[in-house]
Amino acid sequence: MASIVQWKIGGEAGFGIMTAGAIFSKACSRGGLHVFGYSEYPSLIRGGHNSFQAAVSEEKVGCQVTPVNVLVALNRETVDLHKGELSREAAVIFDPDKTSVDKMPGFKLVPVPFARIATETAGLELMSNNVALGASVAVLDYDIGLLLDVIRDQFKGKGEDVIRKNTESANAGYEYVKKNFPGKFKYKIQRAKSPAKILMTGNEAIGAGAIAAGCKFYSGYPMTPTSGLLHFMASQERKYGLIVKHAEDEISAINMAIGAAHTGARSMTATSGGGFCLMVEGLGLAGMTETPLVIAMGQRAGPSTGLPTWTEQSDLKFVLNASHGEFPRIVLAPGDVEELFYSTVKAFNLAEKYQTPVIIMYDKHIAESHCTVDSIESVEIEEGLKVGENTPGYKRYQFTKTGVSPRAFPGQKGNFFIANSDEHDEKGHSTESAELRKAMVEKRMRKLEHAEIDSCRLHGPKKAPITLIGWGSTKGAIKQAMERLASKGVKANFLQMTCISPFPEKMVSAILKGKRPKLIVENNYSGQLAFVICEHTGIQVSHKLLKFDGRPFYPEEIELEAKKVARK
Amino acid sequence: MKNLDTGIFPTWCPGCGDFAIFSSIKNAIGMMDYPAESYFFTYGIGCHGHMCNFLDVYGFETLHGRPLPVAEGAKLANRDLNVIAVSGDGDSYGEGISHFMHIMRRNIDLTLIVHNNRVYGLTTGQVTPTSQKGFRSKSTPDGTIEQPMNPISTAILGGATFVARGFAGDPAHLSSLIVEGVKHKGFALIDVFQPCVTFNHINTYQWYREKVYKLEGNNTSDRMEALRISMEQDKLPIGIFFREEAKTYEEQVATQVSLSSEPVKTDIKDLIESFR
Ligand SMILES: Cc1ncc(C[n+]2csc(CCOP(=O)(O)OP(=O)(O)O)c2C)c(N)n1
Ligand code: SF4
Ligand SMILES: [Mg+2]
């Protein structure tokens, strides 16, 4: 099992915790290390407690872990809140002029006057976080050059003076620790031999995937945890020739995306549960008019406004069933940042191939966490069926064996048709004929009957005395738990569902048959995937580990439960 | 010009104002030089929306209240299209009013034609946001308590760059308004007094004929004058209230390409490297 060192920074909201966390994470990924950077923050702009923790290792880390080995406390609250997470001999870095910390036997206190050093070197107390970052690198005996490079990049374009102040304050923090606490610390990280890694949030991975897939139109409305995706797409608008529209509401966002998709532009929208509620009628419109549409659905704790900045996986059954009426839909459930990238490309291809909405399910935990990826390969674009101008006898909704009818586009010569939210005939005109209605429903539903979408993966040994089951962001913690179990001689495998609609009945039945215990791990109250599995296969999952307090799973929790279940 | 009829016989009640709006739209298309395939119509849900089955150009029958956002998405993605949204008073001033308010701020180059019959026709005659105070309907048997909204004043104040009103009883005049609206660079509202012979027995052809008069010689570049005229109650002006040259939304967005013709595959090597 690879060793993981975890660094954490905490302080009041509004004090740049997220930026500091992202800089630290990038300094690690630049050094060829794997990182998982997880943040917690309340739905407030000022006040309240923020934290960012980065789990760093030479091998892949897919989640935050316990314990914390280095804690940077920008206020007293941070120490009080996170003391319980510290490992033996963990270092606690704090500013003694600002924060009084009582003696903590078993831990290493590292008083570093952040504010004083910042003022002395840069003339600005605002630079305190840089001092703390520099001090962290010194405590971990890591490479200060990497940190300074990242800071330099961060402030690129803001002028030499700004860059100098930021780097010098970081360096001063580093020197202070090296001088005053030489060789005192247990936890270290070291540059790896491998080249710099890619470090992305889930939102950025979806955005990059969308651009790679040729997405040209993105409309959205801000809602945590998907606002980051809106911001990312907007930042790339010029470079990649996209139209990014912050619409007046989610109803408009989805309908705009449908209008754009209808003209042939690959289109996408994104939201969280509350916004998705408003999009539901539009979802049915895309289904009925056979419009290719990609929706990224970033879950958070609900219902209603819920816990806006905390994670949950409680919208699976909602998304599977959203909208009145019946139409085919594809629901993908990528499990980490890398899978988010490729699933998004796939979502665009599938939407166009089957002319139906594709929903990418993710959640706050992977949307906003930073995670490393070794490399991103180039991707395939699969275009759907289309006709050229003046196609004789063209019918947009022609009955075909596969149910898929070639698309035409407004602006083309000839090929006139309408897309219709009312039931329609092959040309798109409204009809209430019983026969046509039946044939059209069958045509639409037929599209996914033979769809081949790689929809699940079995990790670990083919046969194991216990099988873990999960979907989406729990992948990282489950895989980490498997490693921990293996190191203690407990064999387990893991069924990861990556596409939940259409549901791969045969594959899942084959994997889950037999009497061994099965433990499903879900961030919700009722075990929604367990219901879906039972609905499709008749198989009842024997054990459920459920969590719905807004916090993601830690591998230790899964390990513990799996051991309990295996012992039964 | 291509035949604009699908051949499907219109299903509106005999005498309905929708017939005249339909023929005015066809006339207007005939009066302009754009090819038939350049038009893209979106429709709301209501009696008005049934036009999708009769008019043989590219079209999209959307949801109740949503012809505007679908039209906006289409226009932003393919700005070569002449986009026209056909809507109802329930559709655009009730269910979809947020889209109406916001498109005016944006000045996206498309035309909204509202069949304003001051009732929900298709759902058998309930009050709408433009029904007169006191209007009795199945949902307001004692007469509605609410004041009607004035879409023309709202549009003038909302920043629309072309605001006009037509009357289904004067299709030639309406055709010319539609031509002006479609040619106008920016968002154009054409609100149309449309008698509903089945459910609105107050605002009849006769009632309108006694009240409407054609605007002539008004200063259409003066927003305040337009606003004052739009508030007239005893007589009801039809014609162009306000018109202004302004940059469209599309002209101002960072991306200046017609998206639909773009190649799909995008090289993102640089983008990925920026994450290292
Ligand atoms: C979301 C939704 N709510 C309600 C309806 C039912 N509905 C259909 S048409 C209509 C009213 C139409 O009124 P208007 O837009 O004025 O059109 P008209 O029939 O008068 O032309 C309503 C409420 C619907 N189709 N969708
Ligand atoms: S109900 Fe009214 S609006 Fe609808 S078709 Fe009949 S007359 Fe026209
Ligand atoms: Mg109406």
Check pLDDT > 60 for residue B259.
no
Question: pLDDT class for B158, splitting at 50, 70, 90?
Answer: very high
Q: Between chains, do B45 and A412 touch, taking CB under 8 Å as contact?
A: no
Instruction: Please check whether residue A380 lies inside any domain of the structure.
Output: no
Angle between helix A250-262 and helix B67-77 axes, rounded to 10 deg: 50
Q: Is A162 exposed, middle or buried (0-12, 13-18, 19+ CB in 10 A)?
A: middle
Q: Does residue B132 contact residue B203 with C-beta atoms inside 8 Å?
A: yes
Q: Between chains, do B78 and A410 touch, taking CB under 8 Å as contact?
A: yes
Q: Please give the average pLDDT of every successive group of 10 residues along chain A, which has 568 residues.
A: 89 93 98 98 88 97 97 96 96 96 94 97 94 98 98 94 96 98 92 96 98 96 98 95 96 98 96 98 98 98 97 98 98 98 98 98 98 95 95 98 97 97 98 98 96 91 97 98 96 97 96 97 98 98 97 97 92
For residue B197 and ligand 2, the question of a CB distance below 6 A is answered with yes
Residue A315 shares a structural domain with residue A298: yes
From CA A519, how far away is CA A544, in angstroms rounded? 5
Q: Between chains, do B259 and A411 touch, taking CB under 8 Å as contact?
A: no
Residue A447 shares a structural domain with residue A466: no
Instruction: Please check whether residue A81 lies inside any domain of the structure.
Output: yes
Domain boundary residue among A407, A423, A453?
Answer: A453
Write down the pLDDT at residue A46: 82
Question: Does any CB of chain B come closer than 8 Å to the CB of residue A278?
Answer: no
Closest Cβ opposite residue A413 in set B37, B73, B78: B37
Phi, psi of B164 (to 5 degrees): -140, 160
Check pLDDT > 80 for residue B113.
yes
Residue A12 shares a structural domain with residue A41: yes
Instruction: Please check whether residue A135 lies inside any domain of the structure.
Output: yes
Between the CA of B200 and the centroid of ligand 3 the distance, in Å, is 10
Instruction: Tell me which H or E stretch contains A377.
Output: none
Alpha helices per DSSP H over B139-222: 151-158, 171-183, 205-211
Residue A35 shares a structural domain with residue A145: yes
Residue A418 shares a structural domain with residue A461: no
Residue A204 shares a structural domain with residue A346: yes
Instruction: Please check whether residue A186 lies inside any domain of the structure.
Output: no
Closest residue of A to B75, CA-based?
A260
Write down the pLDDT at residue A2: 65
For chain B, percent of residues with pLDDT exceeding 70 = 97
Residue A304 shares a structural domain with residue A440: no
For chain B, percent of residues with pLDDT exceeding 90 = 94
Instruction: Please check whether residue A187 lies inside any domain of the structure.
Output: no
Residue A261 shares a structural domain with residue A347: yes
Write down the pLDDT at residue B1: 78
Measured by CA distance, the residue closest to atom 8 of ligand 2 is B16
Instruction: Please check whether residue A545 lies inside any domain of the structure.
Output: yes
Quote the DSSP letter at residue A84.
G
- For residues B148-177, give the mean pLDDT: 98
For residue B168 and ligand 1, the question of a CB distance below 6 A is answered with no
Question: Does any CB of chain B come closer than 8 Å to the CB of residue A218?
Answer: no
For residue B38 and ligand 1, the question of a CB distance below 6 A is answered with no
Instruction: Please check whether residue A188 lies inside any domain of the structure.
Output: no
Closest Cβ opposite residue A198 in set B66, B68, B272: B272
Residue A389 shares a structural domain with residue A318: no
Check pLDDT > 80 for residue B263.
no
Residue type, B56: D
State how far residue A172 is from chain B, nearest Cα, in angstroms.
Answer: 26
Write down the pLDDT at residue B260: 59
Residue A448 shares a structural domain with residue A480: no
Size of interface A-B (CB pairs under 8 A): 194
Question: Hey, what domains does chain B have and what are their CATH numbers?
Answer: 2-273 (3.40.50.970)
Name the residue range of residue A98's domain.
Answer: 5-180
Which atom of ligand 2 is nearest the CA belonging to B115?
3
Residue type, B104: M
State how far residue A379 is from chain B, nearest Cα, in angstroms.
Answer: 9
Residue A299 shares a structural domain with residue A405: no
Q: Is A271 exposed, middle or buried (0-12, 13-18, 19+ CB in 10 A)?
A: buried
Task: Specify the CATH number for the domain of residue A324.
Answer: 3.40.50.970
State how far residue A208 is from chain B, nearest Cα, in angstroms.
Answer: 7
- For residues B95-102, give the mean pLDDT: 98
Closest Cβ opposite residue A429 in set B8, B60, B255: B8
Residue A233 shares a structural domain with residue A152: no
Between the CA of B22 and the centroid of ligand 1 the distance, in Å, is 19
Among A356, A256, A364, A361, smallest CA distance to A319 is for A361
CB < 8 Å to B92, chain A? none
Question: Does any CB of chain B come closer than 8 Å to the CB of residue A426?
Answer: no
Domain boundary residue among A130, A151, A180?
Answer: A180
The structural domain count of chain A equals 4
Instruction: Please check whether residue A190 lies inside any domain of the structure.
Output: no
CB < 8 Å to B100, chain A? none
CB < 8 Å to B259, chain A? 216-217, 241, 243, 260, 263-265
State how far residue A230 is from chain B, nearest Cα, in angstroms.
Answer: 16
Write down the pLDDT at residue A14: 87
Closest Cβ opposite residue A199 in set B80, B253, B275: B275
Write down the pLDDT at residue A565: 95
Domain boundary residue among A430, A453, A476?
Answer: A453
Question: Does any CB of chain B come closer than 8 Å to the CB of residue A252?
Answer: yes
Residue B152's Cα: distance from chain center in Å? 12
